[in-house]
Amino acid sequence: MRVLITGITGMTGSHLAEYFLNKGGFEVYGSYRRRSPRLNLEDLERSGRIKYVEAGVSDVKVIKKAFDKSKVNMIGAELTDAFSVRKLIAATEPEYIFHLAAQSYVPGSWNAPAETLQTNIISELNILEAVREMGFSPTIQIAGSSEEYGLVKPDEVPIKETNPLRPISPYAVSKVTQEMLAYQYFRSYGLKTITTRGFNHEGPRRGDNFVTSSFAKQIALIEAGKQEPIISVGDLTSKRDWADVRDVARAYHLLVEKCQPGEVYNIGTGVSRTIQEMLDLLLTMSSIKVEVKQDAARMRPSDVTLLWADASKFKAATGWEPEIPFEQTMRDLLNYWRAHV
């Protein structure tokens, strides 16, 4: 099977690439930008299991010849550029597409709403159009988000796919639109799109602006004597349903094999914890004594306060269950930062 992962330099994309490579029987392709950080791919680089193919002025035949099927093949592509995306799709002829690339940071979307909408919506549009024009028939996973639910009422949890969507950030609006676009291309042209509403997923390589990773990194910095023993926090009362990114990678594979095109699936653990509980857990893993200080810059204009997944639809379709306990996820994340600060 030929697998194309957009956003392969991100946390989830890098784990998904390793998942398919280690599983065997898959040709793995990923799109990257010239300026993309390569940190998340360092394990693949170190073991010589990655190959960069610069699309540049080369035509599709030349790009295809440069691929090494035993490695993760990285193709330079600008996803907001339709020409670039057509070349990417023509060169890789994917049978599975995992569309993960996105401006994925909710607070960043208030600061750059137009860029968020442009990246998240137009990139997907370019992929769907390229697939349609070329007459390929891949199964396409679209990474929607639990943020689409937005304002969730206390009597609506755990949240089912049928819950109303009340998005309250530009990021969430972009994800609702991505989902609608996927549905429209399924209905209008029969493209095999499936949308996941992923609840938070965490683990090694999580960007340090996300709350779990921010706390873990700060603890590692304090342990290393590189930060005063003060942890800056935002709102600690909101609740999240945190899965391990490696369980989510496995879920995505099951999704494209077993789920129904045109449908939407929640992916989450079914356990909801406050951000305070997550911080307390991390602090039990370290011997440091810290002061916890609220930082106004970390507060959001409107916050999603309650996320708790009912993933029974996805579990019934695939048999998926999360396997990695939350404690392990957080310990691995903290150890990741201990090795990187």
Q: Whose Cβ is closer to ligand NDP: residue 101's or residue 157's?
A: 101
* CA 96 – CA 68 distance, rounded (Å): 18
How many C-beta neighbours within 10 Å does residue 172 have? 25
Q: Is 69 in the site for ligand NDP (CB under 6 A)?
A: no
Establish if 92 lies at the interface with ligand NDP (CB under 6 A): no
Candidates 85, 100, 219, 264; binder of ligand NDP (CB under 6 A) is: 100
The pattern of x and - marking residues 220 through 259 that bind ligand NDP according to CB under 6 A reads ----------------------------------------
**Would you count residue 264 as binding ligand NDP (CB under 6 A)?**
no
Count of positions on this chain that bind ligand NDP (CB under 6 A): 24
Residue 148 to residue 199: CA distance in whole angstroms: 10
Q: Which stretch binds ligand NDP (CB under 6 A): 60-68, 161-169, 194-202, 219-227?
A: 194-202
Catalogue the long-range contacts made by 106-111 (C-beta closer than 8 Å, 24 or more residues apart).
Answer: 106/147, 106/169, 106/171, 106/172, 106/300, 106/304, 107/209, 107/298, 107/300, 108/171, 108/209, 109/169, 109/170, 109/171, 109/174, 110/169, 110/170, 110/300, 110/301
| Separation CA 318–CA 340 (nearest Å) | 36
- For residue 79, state whether it binds ligand NDP (rule: CB under 6 A): yes
d(CA 88, CA 166) in angstroms, rounded, equals 34
Interacting span for ligand NDP (CB under 6 A) from 6-14, 51-59, 289-297, 300-308: 6-14
Tell me: does residue 7 bind ligand NDP (CB under 6 A): yes
Q: What's the closest the beta carbon of residue 22 comes to ligand NDP, in angstroms?
A: 18
* CB-closest chain residue to ligand NDP: 10
Q: How far is the CB of 243 from ligand NDP (least distance, A)?
A: 8
Binding mask 101-120 for ligand NDP (x = CB under 6 A): xxxx--------------x-
Among 3, 19, 36, 182, binds ligand NDP (CB under 6 A): 36
Annotate 166-216 with three-state secondary structure. Answer: ECCCHHHHHHHHHHHHHHHHHHHHCCEEEEEEECCEECCCCCCCCHHHHHH
Select the residue interacting with ligand NDP from 49, 87, 192, 201 (CB under 6 A). Answer: 201
309 binds ligand NDP (CB under 6 A): no
Piece of 131-139, 148-156, 196-204, 295-303 that binds ligand NDP (CB under 6 A): 196-204
Residue in 160, 141, 138 with CA at minimum distance from that of residue 149: 160
Residues that bind ligand NDP (CB under 6 A): 7, 9-13, 33, 36-37, 79-80, 100-104, 119, 123, 143, 145, 198, 200-201, 207
